[in-house]
Amino acid sequence: MDKTVAEAEIIQLKEQLNKWSQEYYVDDNPSVEDHVYDAAYQRLLSLEAKFPELKTADSPTQRVGGKVLTGFEKVNHEIPMLSLGDVFSKAELADFSERLYQASGSEFPYSCELKIDGLAISLTYENGLFVKGSTRGNGLIGEDITENLKTIKAIPMKLNKPVTVEVRGECYMPKKAFVALNEAREKKGQPIFANPRNAAAGSLRQLDTSVTAKRNLSTFIYYLMEPEKFGVTTQSEALNLMASWGLKVNQESRVCQGRAQIEAYIDEYQKKRPDLTYDIDGIVLKAEPFSVHEKVGNTIKVPKWAIAYKFPPDEQETIVRDIEWTVGRTGVVTPTAVMDPVILAGTTVERASLHNPDYLKDKDIRLLDTVKLHKAGDIIPEISEVVLAKRPEDAKPYAIPTQCPACQAELVHLDDEVALRCINPQCPAQIKESLAHFASRNAMNIGGLGPRIIDQLFSKGFIHDAADLYKLTFEQLLTLDKFKEKSAQKLLDAIDRSRENSLERLLFGLGIRHVGTKAAQILAAHFKDSNHLMQARVDEITAIDNLGQIIADSVATYFAQPAVQNLMAEFKAVGVNLTYLGTGNDSQVQNSSFSNLTVVLTGTLDHIKRSDAKAYLEAHGAKVTGSVSKKTDLLICGHDAGSKLAKAQTLGTRIMNEEEFLQKMEEEK
């Protein structure tokens, strides 16, 4: 391919990927499946690698981060980034509205918007290209965080119109991302973030931009600088205009006239707050006409034409009855407060994580203390403080345990971790947690093998490590609580299917420290089988793109253990696949009867999960889509298949039932 042809294709790919990215991250309305986006992205990566001079700043490939900054430069805000004044009751809100009416001399509608609990940011575009981003700072001077903002997929690198403009908004961490981040940090023995806002702020100020890229941040833009340049006269017009440029604007805003409509909006979103995918802590009221903004102006700190109504905290008092300590897969021992049940944000809460010993000490939580309980980010139950006035006179400081609650081994602090750890490799609690991880969806995907069943298998002595799962018998499973012939056979089938998984699933399932799904995939693809991986030197692993010293040391140390070498030998003996099956280029895939077919799955499958069937087909070269068309080569259907089956019959598409599909899988082993 010559440079001219490559340049034309790169332009087309960038436009397509940016469009798909906006549909997914901004509009919440994707038009293509993930694998379609991924294939186009990989094509763009390969072209830019071949023609690096054609790589531009607005390319989707520039979002991944990787730059390590030495610090953040200061940015002067020519027009100050003001904060909002706060009110805490509807009466105070009515007083604000009355003052604004007196100052403006007229009645007008308000733009009511959700108050996103995040970090204020400013974005600057020149001729439609993103060139600079900054924090609010003190309102006059902020910090240049351009490189970190480039990693956020909700921020377009190129607008739909070639405008030169500054816009402002909020960067936030979605609730789901916040929960996942804290869970990961807690498992590693790291301090957790108190709320999504703190998590977003900490993520934006990372000097390593690749860390920011992994935090799944998002944005809402709500303020247009110099709106007169674009001929808009109201806040709602400005929001619509910014949305038309491709910026992510919150769609829950509403123009309200009069106190009744405003209070109805507040009541509505106070109820909806727990169900939103992001955290809000109130409602923002802005005079809808910009003419009012100009007339009443600002104070040094706040605009006179806007106010923030803060929701009252949903906080309840309860009594701590016990503190339980649990052992995780990596040996981290975590305290949990057990309390009298209370209703909080619509759900009954009676347990709250205390995270680590330092947290417990700092809060000075004692047994039988009355505590105030709320939900951090509307999600995670959290004790905010002890009600000292209600503390029993004989309450004593809680004694931090020194021995593992599961195996009685001595607990230790590793490095500078805040967490306590049990480092006994034979600790039964760690082994059971490891087995649950081994069976999980992203690992060996053994459906039906949950913690309750693992606990029974372990306590009966049927299993001691992951390889023992493949030695289980039908008769053993029938001794488990509530297990009959059908459920026993179903679990055995799931275990048997997992023998055929590609190596990367096994590597992730082993729970090697610092090796997630991506690192497992890279290692498996590079070394092809477990023998080569187990013999790999640290320098061989660090030579692989995207794998650093920490992962290399962890992998080499793990496989150097005699117990691990014995475990891998056991896996081989029980028929677990120890090779990489590839994703589309191996001879096995090329020889598969599913290779290069467009396949649709429909109906209820009894013997294989839909996700497993899809993964198998894609691993054997098929393209799995969601709808039947003239391009569909094969429909695989379970029972109760509906319109897709009827359409396939009309089009004359080849149809395969579940039994035929499973038989074909067996033939291709």
The secondary structure of 248-273 as a DSSP string is ---TT-EEE-HHHHHHHHHHHHHHHG
**Residue 46: what pLDDT?**
85
Beta-strand ranges (E) seen in 109-232 are 110-116, 119-126, 129-135, 141-143, 165-172, 218-224
Structure tokens given for 151: 């990693």
Is 217 marked as binding a ligand? no
The reply, when asked if residue 407 is annotated as ligand binding, is: yes
- pLDDT by residue (tens digit) across 149-168? 999 999 999 999 999 999 99
Q: Are residues 605 and 625 in the same domain?
A: yes
pLDDT at 67: 62
Is residue 465 annotated as involved in ligand binding? no
> Was 59 annotated as part of a binding site?
no
Mean pLDDT along residues 101-115:
94
Please state whether 539 falls in left (phi above 0), alpha (psi between -120 and 50) or beta. Answer: alpha
Assigned domain for 20 exists: yes
Confirm or deny that 84 is annotated as ligand binding.
yes
Average pLDDT on 362-368 reads 94
Surface-to-core class of residue 638, CB atoms within 10 Å of its CB (0-12 exposed, 13-18 middle, 19+ buried): buried
Unique residue bearing structure tokens 């709808």: 627
Token pair, residue 48, equals 């830019």
Do residues 567 and 545 share a domain?
Answer: yes
Kindly report the CA angle at 177 between 174 and 183, in degrees rounded to 5? Answer: 140
Identify the domain boundary among 541, 573, 605: 573
Tell me, what's the pLDDT at 1?
76
Average pLDDT (345-357) is: 86
Asked whether residue 69 carries a pLDDT value surpassing 70, the answer given is no
User: pLDDT averaged over the chain?
Assistant: 88
Whether 69 maps to a domain, the answer reads no
Same domain, 258 and 338: no
Q: Is 427 annotated as contributing to ligand binding?
A: yes
Annotated binding-site residue? 112: no
Q: Give the per-residue pLDDT at 346.
A: 65
Domain of residue 222, residue span: 86-310
| One domain for residues 276 and 214 | yes
- At residue 642, what are phi and psi to the nearest 5 degrees? -115, -120
Together in a domain, 26 and 53: yes
Mean pLDDT, range 42-66, rounded to an integer = 81
Check whether residue 144 and residue 202 sit in a common domain.
yes
Q: What is the CATH number of the domain that holds 38?
A: 1.10.287.610
Residues 161 and 295 in one domain: yes
Least confidently predicted of 107-121, 472-486, 531-545, 574-588 = 574-588
Residue 509 within a domain: yes
pLDDT at 589: 53
pLDDT of amino acid 315: 83
Name the band, by pLDDT with cuts 50, 70 and 90, for residue 400: very high
CA dihedral 330, 336, 342, 344 (to 10 degrees): -50
- pLDDT tens, position by position, 224-272: 999 999 999 999 999 999 999 999 999 999 999 999 999 999 999 998 9
Rounded to two decimals, the pTM is 0.59
Q: Do the annotations mark residue 34 as ligand-binding? A: yes
Segment among 226-230, 348-352, 409-413, 616-620 with least mean pLDDT: 616-620
The confidence score (pLDDT) of residue 584 equals: 44
Of 271-275, 465-469, 546-550, 554-558, least confident by mean pLDDT is 546-550
| Banded pLDDT at 68 (limits 50, 70, 90) | low
Q: What is the CATH number of the domain that holds 466?
A: 1.10.150.20
578 lies in some domain: no
> Would you say residue 579 lies in a domain?
no
Do 102 and 251 lie in one domain? The reply is: yes
Residues 217 and 296 placed together within one structural domain of the fold: yes
Q: What is the CATH number of the domain that holds 343?
A: 2.40.50.140
Tell me, yes or no, whether 323 and 306 share the same domain.
Answer: no
pLDDT band for position 282 (cuts 50, 70, 90): very high
Tell me the residue type at 369.
D
Residue 113 known to bind ligand = yes
One domain for residues 109 and 205:
yes
Rounded distance between C-alpha atoms, residue 122 and residue 105, angstroms: 32
Give me the pLDDT at residue 623, please. Answer: 82
Taking residues 274-286, report their average pLDDT.
Answer: 91
Q: Give Cβ neighbours of residue 450 (< 8 Å, ≥ 6 apart).
A: 436, 439
Token duo for residue 272:
């909806």
What interhelical angle do 451-459 and 428-439 show, nearest 10? Answer: 130
pLDDT at 573: 94
Say whether both 156 and 296 belong to one domain.
Answer: yes
Q: Give the per-residue pLDDT at 399.
A: 93
Is residue 414 domain-resident?
no
Measured distance CA(251)–CA(376) in Å, rounded: 24
Count of domains observed in the chain: 6
pLDDT in tens, 549-592: 889 998 998 899 888 899 999 999 999 999 998 754 444 555 67
Q: Which of 351, 371, 395 is the last residue of a domain?
A: 395
267 with 259: CB under 8 angstroms?
A: no
Compute the average pLDDT of residues 199-209: 88
Q: Is 256 annotated as a binding residue?
A: no
Show which of 293, 310, 327 is a domain's final residue.
310
Answer whether residue 111 is part of any domain: yes
Indicate if 115 belongs to the active site.
Answer: yes
Catalytically annotated residue among 19, 67, 115, 372: 115
State yes or no: 171 annotated in a binding site. no
List, in sequence order, every residue forming a beta bridge with 144; answer none if it has no partner: 134
The neighbour count for residue 357, using CB atoms within 10 Å, is: 20
Confidence at residue 585, expressed as pLDDT on a 0 to 100 scale? 44
| Domain assignment of residue 371, yes or no | yes
Q: What is the mean pLDDT of residues 8-21?
A: 87
Residues linked to residue 75 through DSSP beta bridges, in sequence order: 142
pLDDT at residue number 364: 94
